[in-house]
Amino acid sequence: MDLTLENDEFLDGFDHLECHHLRNNIIDIFSLKINANEFNYSTLQDSLLDPLINYSLSRKVRAEYQGKPAILSRRAREKFLDYLRNRGELGELLLYCFLESHLKAPKILSKLELKTSTSHYVNGADGVHFAKLEDGNFQIIFGESKTEENLTTALSHAFKSIYEFKNEINSSGAKKSGLPYEKGLISDHLEKETFSAEEKEFIKKIIYPRRESKFEVDDAFGIFIGYEIAIDESDRWLPNSEFRKKIQAKIKAEISERLTHIEKKITEYKLFGHYIYVYILPFTELAKTRTKIQEEITK
């Protein structure tokens, strides 16, 4: 059973700089394409328009408006804009795009699909995907995104959020939603007929494996980290090819310097047995850029 996957055209606007393997964890470093010594944000904005529809709207809603792309696009933009007012996190959409296009992990649900109160926006994972492994087993991938100026801080906050999610606690130590809640949410959502009967049955087998199942299912995590990169004004005067090389080398060095920190956080929070897929992307003037992209894709 194959659920809808985004095509990999989303990745055309990026350079995949490096991939690090830390035991069960994979850290993929991406950079936006550089045009005239600037990150090409226009290409990113364009590449988010189509994924925004699949991210924001359920399969049922998309089927209802099949053949009416203008209405479908408007519905998706309205829903995403409403979501941003409650949550304000572009990183969740980017995480969705990377998991679908790069990891080939189809979405089971995103928080925008929920037809409940907006309070659910702040609960649980930033989205749920699944991946079929080469050995025939599966992973349920719970998403977490952080876009913060400081790379180390963003990584620390992401792993802390995963720890709290897994252990159903919050910063004050009180009970909060976690893995059981999220799996129950998926199951409840399936009954609202977002999926076909065949898709429901398939997903239920992944969420709650049966005795006769011929595969194993493990909980995994997907993380998107957006951080702010500082570029010296003098570097803007470099020839284009030299600028690309220097900035890409700077990005790779900044992430390489944090690999020990990532491993430390995994150890600190005892996340050893989980596969964790980390996607890292730098931005210039993060807050300003994030706001502009959000405005462009929802107008």
In this structure, of 95-99, 189-193, 202-206, 256-260, the range with the lowest mean pLDDT score is 189-193
* Tokens at 57, concatenated: 């709207």
Which residue is associated with the tokens 């006769």? 212
Q: How far is C-alpha 202 from the chain's CA centre?
A: 23
Q: How far is C-alpha 195 from the chain's CA centre?
A: 21
Q: Residue 146 has what pLDDT?
A: 95
Q: How far is C-alpha 278 from the chain's CA centre?
A: 9
Domain-located, residue 13 = no
Burial class of 124 by CB neighbour count within 10 A (0 to 12, 13 to 18, 19+): buried
Domain-located, residue 282 = yes
- The whole-angstrom separation of Cα 101 and Cα 62 is 19
Question: How many domains does one find in the chain?
Answer: 1
* Tokens at 7, concatenated: 């095509």
Q: Are 238 and 37 in contact (CB under 8 A)?
A: yes
Residue 121 has pLDDT above 50, yes or no: no
Residue 48 has pLDDT above 90, yes or no: yes
Domain-located, residue 250 = yes
Domain-located, residue 16 = no
Q: Are 258 and 27 in contact (CB under 8 A)?
A: no
What pLDDT digit, counting tens, does each position of 147-164 carry? Answer: 999 999 999 999 999 999
Domain-located, residue 257 = yes
Domain-located, residue 18 = no
Q: Residue 116 has what pLDDT?
A: 44
Beta strands in 75-160 (DSSP E): 107-109, 128-132, 138-147
- pTM: predicted TM-score of the whole model, two decimal places: 0.91
Instruction: Indicate the length of the chain as a whole number.
Output: 299
Domain-located, residue 2 = no
Range of the domain at 156: 23-298
Domain-located, residue 62 = yes
Confidence grade of residue 21 (pLDDT, cut at 50, 70, 90): very high
* Tokens at 252, concatenated: 């790779």
